[in-house]
Chains A and B, each alone.
Chain A
């Protein structure tokens, strides 16, 4: 029976959702495969391993090491390669996250293997598995397959539904000792800018502002709405270039490409570069003063009006829902 490794990703001792999505993806690639949840962390690896099993992994393999506290390419490559050498997998699935994007090409290079990055769908199975991925920032899609070697993919968060959690599931958890050495990069400090918000790439709902928001303060009503919705806040390039917000919030052809369930575009005209980053969202709401704005062409629901009037009212209405 073949083995597929589903790499978990821990942040501050908790598993990110994409970890469970890797398991579901592995099962889609080969439902008969033994899916091994792999946890690389500095702490709580056994508990995290159990969580992987509850989400469908058949068994789990953990590497616990102080050098795995924060992601660095050197430490994680050594740990991941030790796991790969131990398991000799037919497939590897990772999240297309900051760490996954950084690590996966290097592993692929070490394995002299292909890699299909940032997939949003899986079709067929076994050797015939094809992977769907957006290209040109979602203006088009391609289907790719690996020609030989390990079936190695990274999955875009939020696109492949995780399996139902079942805490009665059990499986073997084994641990691997890895000697991590010769680290060439040292993380001296992490400045958290996102601690209060929800991560854009994993958000189910995004409230995004454009030039129409007019200032940094103008974003406040958007943050208030986002708070009520449990949403992340994003922005168009126009808003970032104008200095209303940080570039890390930018959505578009340069910037992040997102596919939330609900995207609320506020004061965004809808330049083609912005649409590329968000038009595959499931439901799009546009709020704009200009009835001719291009954003209305992709929006499911539109309100033509002043955002500073509409957004606070929308926030109140959402609040009222909860009462």
Chain B
């Protein structure tokens, strides 16, 4: 089975966000694999181990993205592709990324594509469904379970807390939700092996795309931080009195009850 994982690098969740010049300050930030993409990588490896085949992790990024691809290879993916757009694209959006990925994937034999359901930075959740639409294959978002039997696929999908059991078939794109699995940490032998695994680097030219083909359809005009929240009132006295005071404050001062 040919399995592809769409991966994005994101800020480490521990990072504090700073803004300078109308953009998020990237310098010095730690990057990780988007946590939802880790579920996708883990699931891809499990499916390959059960059904055979190969896992290729693909990312649209810059030369630093190699680090996260190596981590994915160390987890157990077989191959990686870095589509480096650093020199070609200045302000891409989800249209940009999905067009690049779909163009790349159209030339591959694809049975299953896994992606995170959302990236924790831009959080649009658009790229997976857009890629599936461009490839004209079905997709299921926010999956928490997947069983493959021949061409038939049985999925459990999270719908705002409810579970839908869905049947569909390959080829297919799914986006992964928390609860699907417990992503492994790369082992030391895994890290050693990852250094020798194939990592292909492509640019737009290699996909016969130029900048205009992938020009963003949206524009970011400003980035700003939310107003700093002032520390509030910690109540004092006996617990019974505090509870009474709290309810009274919520009614009269905050007016939320």
Stretch at the interface among B69-77, B103-111, B188-196, B215-223: B215-223
Q: Contact between B126 and A302 (Cβ–Cβ < 8 Å)? A: no
Say whether, besides A136-B24, A261-B256, A301-B249, A142 and B164 are in contact (CB < 8 Å).
no
**A320 smallest CB distance to B (angstroms):** 9
**In the complex, which residue of chain A has the Cβ closest to the Cβ of B244?**
A317
Q: Contact between B220 and A296 (Cβ–Cβ < 8 Å)? A: no
CB contacts (< 8 Å) of B24 on chain A: these are 135-136, 140
**In the complex, which residue of chain B has the Cβ closest to the Cβ of A287?**
B246
Grouping DSSP codes into helix (H, G, I), strand (E, B) and loop, the A interface class, with mixed when no group exceeds half, is mixed
Q: Contact between A147 and B217 (Cβ–Cβ < 8 Å)? A: yes
Does B52 sit within 8 A of A, measured CB to CB? no
Contact of B232 among A105, A145, A299 (CB under 8 A): A299
Contacts of A171-215 to chain B: CB distance below 8 A? 184-194, 197, 199-201, 205
Say whether, besides A106-B130, A148-B217, A149-B217, A283 and B254 are in contact (CB < 8 Å).
yes
Q: Contact between A185 and B138 (Cβ–Cβ < 8 Å)? A: yes
Q: Contact between B133 and A114 (Cβ–Cβ < 8 Å)? A: no
CB contacts (< 8 Å) of A247 on chain B: these are 144, 177-179
Does B121 sit within 8 A of A, measured CB to CB? yes
Mark A236-257 against chain B: 1 for CB-CB distance below 8 A, else 0.
Answer: 0000000000111110011101
Q: Contact between A302 and B235 (Cβ–Cβ < 8 Å)? A: yes
CB contacts (< 8 Å) of A253 on chain B: these are 13, 35, 120
Q: Contact between B161 and A130 (Cβ–Cβ < 8 Å)? A: no
Stretch at the interface among A29-37, A48-56, A86-94, A272-280: A272-280
Does A161 sit within 8 A of B, measured CB to CB? no
Does B3 sit within 8 A of A, measured CB to CB? no
Contact of A201 among B134, B160, B164, B223 (CB under 8 A): B160
Say whether, besides A101-B141, A114-B95, A145-B219, A140 and B161 are in contact (CB < 8 Å).
no
**In the complex, which residue of chain A has the Cβ closest to the Cβ of B128?**
A105
Contacts of B93-135 to chain A: CB distance below 8 A? 93-95, 98, 120-130, 132-134
**In the complex, which residue of chain B has the Cβ closest to the Cβ of A114?**
B217
**In the complex, which residue of chain A has the Cβ closest to the Cβ of B35?**
A254
Does B167 sit within 8 A of A, measured CB to CB? yes
**A100 smallest CB distance to B (angstroms):** 10
CB contacts (< 8 Å) of B222 on chain A: these are 130, 142-143
Q: Contact between A321 and B125 (Cβ–Cβ < 8 Å)? A: no
**In the complex, which residue of chain B has the Cβ closest to the Cβ of A72?**
B166
Give me 8 A-to-B residue pairs in the complex whose CB atoms sit less than 8 angstroms apart, sorted by A's number: A114-B218, A136-B11, A136-B121, A144-B220, A184-B169, A185-B138, A299-B231, A303-B235
Interface residues of B (CB under 8 A from A): 11, 13-14, 16-17, 19, 24, 35-36, 93-95, 98, 120-130, 132-134, 138-142, 144, 158-169, 177-179, 216-226, 229, 231-235, 239-240, 242-244, 246-247, 249-251, 254, 256-257
Interface residues of A (CB under 8 A from B): 70-71, 73-74, 97-98, 101-102, 104-106, 108-110, 113-118, 130, 134-149, 184-194, 197, 199-201, 205, 229, 246-250, 253-255, 257, 261-262, 272-273, 276, 279-280, 282-285, 291, 296-305, 309-310, 313-314, 317-318, 321
